[in-house]
């Protein structure tokens, strides 16, 4: 089955970021297609490659990036929510004249239409938030 996942909360702050990841792993292990993971609200903070968690803890960004590489996942960060919170890719950095970008490998920044499209394309859309 084709599944869409929506993540609305930030890493380390709210368990939703963990629940969504564990759900995605289980869905892939069961042979389902994860059509897209859409990061919105504070969920966009999962996409910063600058996070440095303690070594004995999980690395929330890295495990998403690794999962994306292994399964060719489409990890989409909402552009409007990302701009508000300082999550930028190279294009956005240039457009807004900032001195750095921070998007992690495997993530891409795009519009809210990607969420609606996931709702249209997927057999199920599952939300994780506060």
Partner 1 sequence: MSDVKKFLYVNRKAPHGTIYALESLEVVLIGAAFEQDVALAFLDDGVFQLLKGWDTSELGSKNFQPAYTALGDYDIQKVYVERESLEERGLSEDDLLEMVYEDEDDDWAEKSSIRIVSREELAKIMQDSDVVLSF
Partner 2 sequence: MAMLHTVNKSPYQCNTLESCLNHTQEGDVVLLIEDGVYAAAKGGRAADALAAAKGVKICALSADVKARGLDGRIIDGVEIVDYAGFVDLVTETDKTQAWL
Enumerate the active-site residues: 78
How many residues comprise the chain? 130
Residue span 38-57 as binding mask against partner 2, x where in contact by CB under 8 A, dash where not: --------------------
Q: Which of 112, 80, 111, 86 is nearest to 101 (CA)?
A: 86
d(CA 114, CA 116): 5
Contacts with partner 1 by CB under 8 A lie at: 6, 8, 40-42, 80-81, 111-113, 115-117, 119-120, 125, 127, 129-130
d(CA 85, CA 23): 25
Strands 2-7 and 124-128, sheet pairing: parallel
Nearer to partner 1, 67 or 128 (CB): 128
Interface with partner 2 (CB under 8 A): 1, 3, 8, 15-16, 19, 22-23, 25-27, 29-30, 32, 123-130
């Amino acid at each position: 089955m084709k599944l869409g996942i929506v993540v609305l909360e930030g890493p380390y702050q709210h368990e939703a970021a963990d629940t969504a990841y564990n759900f995605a792993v289980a869905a892939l292990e069961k042979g389902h297609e994860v059509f897209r993971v859409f990061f919105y609200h504070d969920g966009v903070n999962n996409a910063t490659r600058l996070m440095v968690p303690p070594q004995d803890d999980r690395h929330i960004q890295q495990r998403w990036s690794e999962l994306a590489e292994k399964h060719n996942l489409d990890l989409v960060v909402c552009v409007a929510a990302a701009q508000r919170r300082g999550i930028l890719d190279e294009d956005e950095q240039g457009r807004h004249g900032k001195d750095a970008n921070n998007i992690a490998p495997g993530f891409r920044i795009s519009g809210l239409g990607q969420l609606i499209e996931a709702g249209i394309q997927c057999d199920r859309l599952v939300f994780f938030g506060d």
